[in-house]
Structure 1
Amino acid sequence: MQHSSLSFLLVDDHPFILEAYKNGIVSFCENSPVFYEAFDCRSGYELIQEVGNKIDIAFLDISMPHFFEKNIKSGLDLALLIREKFPRVKIVILSMHSENMHIEEIMDQIAPEGMIIKNDLNFPDLIYMLERIVADDTFLSETIVKMIQDERYRYMGINKMDKIILKLLSQGETVKNIASDLKLNTTILQKRLHSLAYIMEVPEQSDLALLAKYAQEKHII
């Protein structure tokens, strides 16, 4: 993904936060980015339906006014909608509070390219996050990383399905075959594997054989 011309969906019910995101994005992009802005679940849903195929990166706040008619209760529901209809879109999940970040659920269902506690995010980090995401990498803010690295949380993002996937990898199965056997979307599976590599601190995150080896050494499988 080139950052010369990018389109962003920004959904947050705090206008001043939207402006901060926009300032950072404008500094990052070589050419003027396109912004689609929404302030609650309803307007976010409507924008996704209208311009979802034009979006490159979506910033989604978790806690916002609901859209009950479509059962959209949070930014996570909007993220699920994007993953279903526009899987190429890169997703950044944001929250003001760490207790809203149910890491296991978010990684399992959405596999976002970014997860951020808003108080962690400063201007340099925003630029760094965009660089990583545009390079098809992932970004977790400081508090999220500490939660994962804490002994109580270290492997909380690894669920039963992940262990099945890692076991199949250790048996030499390809990503394509695993996706087919488990009826998973290949793109989401690849992103999930990348997140697992991050959680397990695998030095070369694209090395699936090394990922499987680490899973065995850490007694995850």
Structure 2
Amino acid sequence: MRQELRILMVDDHPMTVRGYQMILEQTMAEKISIIDTAFNCDAAYDKITSSKSKPYHLVFLDINLPPAKNHRILDGEDLGILLRKDFPDTKIIILTMLSDNYRINSILKSINPNGFSIKSKLTPKTLQDSVATVLMGNCYYCEVVNNLVRKQVSNQITLDSFDRKILYHLSLGEKMKNLPHFVPLSLPTIERRKRRLKQLFDVKEGDKSLIKKAKEKGFI
């Protein structure tokens, strides 16, 4: 029986999503059952969690997305982690503007995506190739990501969801004493994590410098 693909595209730029849709519809329309879209974390979460009876075969994920209103899902990386946990058979292709080696490495470790492309290097052909390769059970990484994998960056910076939530709420101006209301950890644990973050980012000054460095690396 022919498999009819269920695809979800998550990106905060509707015109970009429409471009991806047109490319796939022109080249593999006979294989596609549906292409759903979501433009923020809340919409994507609703689509993903409501698909349990008929999970998506393939999800395209941007990383920089408007966070969920409850701030529990901050970006596409959190969505990817959720997908990996609850829908292990769903294929994930990351399409992002991020190009910082440390951020890419963190995403590779936390999500282990089936595909990973940098938007500035994406063409209709590479999009088609990535889908075909991933659906055959192989991984497709663009040249930038492949080079990073080969180099295996030393002094790697890998942050978990707690670290990213701490950085996110600090960037919003929250006081340290209030962070346990947003991050399910004790204040001493959060303080230890913040000290570790400063060491990882080689920051000697205060929180503003930490936030600036985290933004430069694409973690906020």
Q: TM-score, normalised by structure 2?
A: 0.63
Q: 1: CA distance between counterparts of 2:152 and 2:126?
A: 25
Contact 2:101–2:148 under 8 Å retained in 1: no
| Structure 1 gap segments, 5+ residues each | 160-221
Q: 1: CA distance between counterparts of 2:84 and 2:7?
A: 15
Q: TM-score, normalised by structure 1?
A: 0.63
Contact 1:107–1:157 under 8 Å retained in 2: no
* Residue 102 of structure 1, CA deviation: 2.0
* Residue 142 of structure 1, CA deviation: 2.4
- Specify the alignment match of 1:134 in structure 2: 135
| Structure 2 gap segments, 5+ residues each | 157-220
Alignment of 1:110-149 (within 5 A): 110-149=111-150
Matched, 1:22 2:21: yes
Matched, 1:85 2:82: no
- 1:151-203 residue CA offsets vs partner (Å, 9 max, x unmatched): xxx023998xxxxxxxxxxxxxxxxxxxxxxxxxxxxxxxxxxxxxxxxxxxx
Q: 2: CA distance between counterparts of 1:41 and 1:67?
A: 5
* Residue 29 of structure 1, CA deviation: 4.1
Contact 2:6–2:57 under 8 Å retained in 1: yes
Counting aligned pairs with the same residue, the percent is 29
Contact 1:108–1:157 under 8 Å retained in 2: no
- Give the structure with higher Rg (CA): 2
- Specify the alignment match of 1:42 in structure 2: 42
Q: 2: CA distance between counterparts of 1:79 and 1:157?
A: 24
Structure 2 counterpart SS, 1:92? strand
- Superposed CA RMSD in Å reads 2.3
The 3 A distance-change label for structure 1 pair 108 and 31 is: closer
* Residue 31 of structure 1, CA deviation: 3.4
Task: Kindly tell me the number of residue pairs found equivalent between the two proteins.
Answer: 153
Q: 2: CA distance between counterparts of 1:47 and 1:146?
A: 33
Structure 2 counterpart SS, 1:116? strand
- 1:18-65 residue CA offsets vs partner (Å, 9 max, x unmatched): 011112221134334311110001111111111154200000100011
